[in-house]
Amino acid sequence: MSEKTNPGNFFEDFNVGQVLPHATPRTITSGDVAVYNSLFPMRFVLQSSDEIARGVGYERAPIDDMLAFHFVFGKTVPDISLNAVANLGYADCRFLAPVFPGDTISTVSKVIGLKENSNGKTGVVYVRSTGSNQTGTHVLDYVRWVMVRKGDESTPAPEPDVPSLPTSVDPKSFALPPSTNFSGLDCALSGSSHLWGDYAVGEKINHVDGVTIEEAEHMMATRLYQNTSKVHFNQFAEGQGRFGRRLVYGGHVISMARALTFNGLGNAFLIAAINAGRHVAPCFGGDTIFAWSEVLDVAELDGRSDIGALRLRTIATKDRPCTEYPGALEKGYDEGVVLDLDYWVLMPR
């Protein structure tokens, strides 16, 4: 058989310092946005209305920050996680510039750490990925770590090299939207009367609603991002794996949880940074996602009297409503927790 196809990189194919420019830049269209909005109950007004966006200083409505994340992430999959067992976590993620329909997104990654697992069959690969638009402007920069299979289990293990990562992103480093002013936002149109000053550290918000992930929808969403990871699509292969079925892309759960936060955080329509994220447990088609959030911190922003920042911790659960706020326990997580996300949002004051 011809060897012109791409088998993907295995753990032993990675080296610390290796730079991976990813193929197929992606031009984002209004059709992509429509598909995304049909798959998730996104209702944030800034991303929904060109008129509202122009009223605060944008040329038009930017795409949802998590949609930009998925497009940047999707480019990395053929080179980094085609042979992944699981995507494990995120850190030091900064949203650097708005992305609009018509922008073309490219991604480059650098391997910043490696550690083989004790079973000798898999290892963890740490990468920093940077997404840029057609002008070379960086729109997103983040670190993720992913468990990848070894192609040859007899390959000697590399020296462990685990990067030191910040526990949170400093608000002073946020890339605030230039030439904007949110002070005149019409809260009746945004769907929430609660602004930055209405939230307090320690406050917990049950987002109430639940949404069931349909098998076809999570696969459609993952294809939208050109994410080619085998575990999401190939039931023939995954039927013989440890779960016996396809896994839902972890980013799908993040977007679902983010969409659910509208009920209680309706004016938190911009994500400034993701401090840390962990996919606590796998998710499958048919699972119903619920979410709750805790306010971890509040921050004023230098030179901006119109917006402030909230540091949130959003927990997503499957098939378990959040009435009792299940979350991290001293020795682990409550049953049903699938996502633990620590991030900063920007909100009008």
Number of folded domains that form the chain: 1
Per-residue confidence (pLDDT) for residue 257, from 0 to 100: 97
Backbone angles phi, psi at 130, to 5 degrees: -130, 125
Per-residue confidence (pLDDT) for residue 335, from 0 to 100: 85
Note whether residue 160 is domain-resident: no
Q: Are 166 and 92 in contact (CB under 8 A)?
A: yes
Note whether residue 15 is domain-resident: yes
Per-residue confidence (pLDDT) for residue 334, from 0 to 100: 85
Residue 136 Ramachandran class (φ > 0 left, ψ -120 to 50 alpha, else beta):
left
For the chain (length 349 residues), average pLDDT per consecutive 10? 83 97 97 96 96 96 97 96 88 98 98 96 97 98 96 93 96 95 95 97 95 95 92 89 91 97 97 96 96 96 96 95 65 85 97
Note whether residue 4 is domain-resident: no
Buried b (16+ CB within 10 A) or exposed e, 101-140: bebebbbbbebbbbbbeeeeebbbbbbbbbbbbeeeeebb
CA–CA separation, 202 vs 295, rounded Å? Answer: 5
Q: Nearest-5° angle of CA 338, CA 340, CA 341?
A: 135
Question: CB 175: neighbour CB atoms within 10 A?
Answer: 16
Per-residue confidence (pLDDT) for residue 325, from 0 to 100: 60
Note whether residue 268 is domain-resident: yes
252: domain range? 11-152+166-348
Note whether residue 110 is domain-resident: yes
Q: What is the CATH number of the domain that holds 125?
A: 3.10.129.10
Note whether residue 158 is domain-resident: no
CA–CA separation, 315 vs 325, rounded Å? Answer: 9
CA–CA separation, 347 vs 74, rounded Å? Answer: 28
Q: What is the pTM of this model?
A: 0.94
Buried b (16+ CB within 10 A) or exposed e, 74-99: bbbbbbbbbbbbbbbbbbbbbbbbbb
CA–CA separation, 175 vs 172, rounded Å? Answer: 9
Note whether residue 174 is domain-resident: yes
Q: Which residues pair with 339 in a beta bridge?
A: 279, 316
| Matching residue, tokens 């911790």 | 313
Note whether residue 5 is domain-resident: no
Q: What is the four-CA torsion angle of 182, 36, 266, 299, rounded to 10 degrees?
A: -60
Tokens of 320: 């378990």
Per-residue confidence (pLDDT) for residue 331, from 0 to 100: 59
Strands (DSSP E) found in 96-225 = 104-116, 122-132, 138-149, 204-206, 211-212
